[in-house]
Amino acid sequence: MQKAETMMNILGNGTKFKGNIKVAGSLRIDGEFEGGMTITETLIVGKSGKIKGDLKTKNCIIGGYINGNLKSDEKVELQSGAKFEGELICKKLIIEEGVTFDGNCIMSETKHGEREQKLKPLEKPQKVEG
């Protein structure tokens, strides 16, 4: 039997899941997921993966699409062709050429809870009349 930190769980291409999930280990998403997710190790979103919701993980590698709030205790890697829309909190961020990132990012070294409090919704541009 494998230890939890080395286990890889997979939500395959063509699979749709709606709800909340907690994983002791890592998770790869190649299908569609909507809801809340807590992953103790690494979340991998494949090129065909689509996620909508609030995510908490140690590390994250994104090749597909995420719309929501992502809180990563360590590193986030956005691979070429990935699309991220939402709020991102992490210590380290890698963004390859060809990524679409629409949202906010906080990378301060303060405690995780303090970083979360800094997130604010995107401000809409003010209309200027003249």
pLDDT, tens digit, for every residue of 47-56?
A: 999 999 999 9
Q: What is the mean pLDDT of residues 81-95?
A: 96
pTM of the model: 0.79
Q: Where does the pLDDT of residue 3 fall: very low under 50, low under 70, confident under 90, or very high at 90 and above?
A: low
Where are any strands of DSSP class E within 1-130? 8-11, 16-23, 26-29, 32-39, 42-45, 50-57, 59-62, 65-72, 75-78, 83-89, 92-95, 100-106
Mean of the per-residue pLDDT values for the chain?
Answer: 86
Please give the Cα distance from 77 to 22 (Å, whole number): 21
